[in-house]
Amino acid sequence: MLQRAAKLLVKVIAALVILCAAGTGILLAVLWREHKTEVVLPKPMGPYAVGRTIFSWSNNKSSNNKSLNNSDEAGSDSSVAAREVVVWIWYPATQAGKAKTVDYLPPEWRAALVQYSGIIMSDFFTRDLSLVKVHSLADREVSADQPSYPVVIMRAGGGALSANYTALAEDLASHGYVVAGIDAPYRTSVVVLPQGQVIVRPPQNDPDTLTPVQANSLINRLLPMWVDDIEFVASQLERLNAADPSGRFTNRLDMKRLGIFGHSFGGAQALEFCHDDSRCQAGIDLDGEPFGSVVRDGLKQPFMLLLSDHSHEAADAAHREILANLQSIYDRLPDGGYFITIRGANHFSFSDQMLIKCPLFIPLMRIAGLGRLDGRRGLAITAEYVHTFFDVYLKGKPRNAITKLSTRYPEVSFEQH
Residue-range domains of the chain with CATH: 36-416 (3.40.50.1820)
217: three-class secondary structure by DSSP: helix
Query: What local confidence, expressed as pLDDT, does residue 243 receive?
Result: 97
Query: What local confidence, expressed as pLDDT, does residue 126 receive?
Result: 78
DSSP per-residue letters across 195-214 = TS-EEE--GGG-GGGS-HHH
Query: What local confidence, expressed as pLDDT, does residue 360 receive?
Result: 62
Distances (CA, A) of 397 to 86, 249, 389, 394, 402: 32, 25, 9, 8, 10
Count CB-CB contacts under 10 A for residue 167.
Answer: 25
Alpha carbons 239 and 45: distance in angstroms, whole number? 30
For the chain, the residue count is: 417
pLDDT, tens digit, 9 for 90 and up, residues 232-253: 999 999 999 999 999 999 999 9
Query: What local confidence, expressed as pLDDT, does residue 210 receive?
Result: 85
Distances (CA, A) of 259 to 31, 122, 213: 39, 34, 32
Query: What local confidence, expressed as pLDDT, does residue 72 receive?
Result: 47
Query: What local confidence, expressed as pLDDT, does residue 143 receive?
Result: 97
Distances (CA, A) of 194 to 57, 266, 304: 10, 24, 35
pLDDT, tens digit, 9 for 90 and up, residues 178-197: 999 999 999 999 999 999 99
Contact present, 283 and 271 (Cβ < 8 Å): yes
Query: What local confidence, expressed as pLDDT, does residue 41 receive?
Result: 97
DSSP state of 101: B
Q: pTM of the entire structure?
A: 0.88
- Which of 74, 71, 67 shows the shortest CA–CA distance to 214? 74
* pLDDT lower than 70: segments of the chain: 1-36, 61-82, 96-97, 119-125, 358-371
